[in-house]
């Protein structure tokens, strides 16, 4: 099984290679943002998110890829936040040109994900990600 570009880039910590695999209109879904649709869209903002995430979690470890017959795939890896293990799974969808059009991130355990969210907020809020996307809507 040939690994996808994103998987190989995560294994080697090659952020430019990961970025090169993204579509211009890539959509990013995250467990740390209060999004309900495709609010986080576009190469520039997703690159900034990935750069910030790499800074926080460091070099991914134990990278694995699981391919689905419909073309989607999941990349899993371990990272750390302030010395605490964070396990990550990314559901990736590619377009017909084999460019990544959608990234859905899942992470655990919650106490470490909260540390990750706090780090990301300090570096991405309110620009390029506005406060409205960090907070739940008022009830």
Q: Does this model's pTM top 0.85?
A: yes
Higher local confidence (pLDDT), 44 or 39: 44
Q: Domain 5-128: which topology?
A: Nuclear Transport Factor 2; Chain: A, (3.10.450)
pLDDT tens for 81-106 read 999 999 999 999 999 999 999 999 99
Q: In the predicted model, what is the mean pLDDT of the chain?
A: 93
Distance separating alpha carbons of residues 138 and 2, to the nearest angstrom? 46
HEC per residue, 35-79: CCCCCCECHHHHHHHHHHHHHHHCCCEEEEEEECCCCCEEEEEEE
**Residue 107: band (very low, low, confident or very high) from pLDDT cuts 50, 70, 90:** very high
Q: Where are the domains of the chain?
A: 5-128
């Amino acid at each position: 099984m040939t690994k996808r570009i994103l998987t190989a880039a995560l294994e080697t910590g090659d952020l430019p290679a990961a970025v090169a695999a993204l579509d211009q209109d890539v959509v990013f879904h995250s467990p740390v943002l209060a999004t309900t649709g495709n609010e986080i869209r576009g190469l520039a903002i997703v690159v900034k998110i990935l750069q910030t995430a790499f800074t926080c979690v460091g070099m991914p470890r134990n990278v694995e890829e699981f391919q689905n017959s419909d073309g989607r795939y999941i990349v899993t890896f371990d990272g750390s936040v302030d010395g605490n293990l964070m396990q990550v799974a990314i559901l990736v969808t590619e377009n017909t040109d084999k460019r990544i059009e959608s990234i859905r991130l899942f992470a655990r355990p919650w106490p470490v994900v909260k540390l990750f969210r706090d780090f990301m907020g300090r570096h991405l809020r309110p620009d390029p990600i506005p406060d409205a996307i960090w907070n739940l809507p008022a009830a």
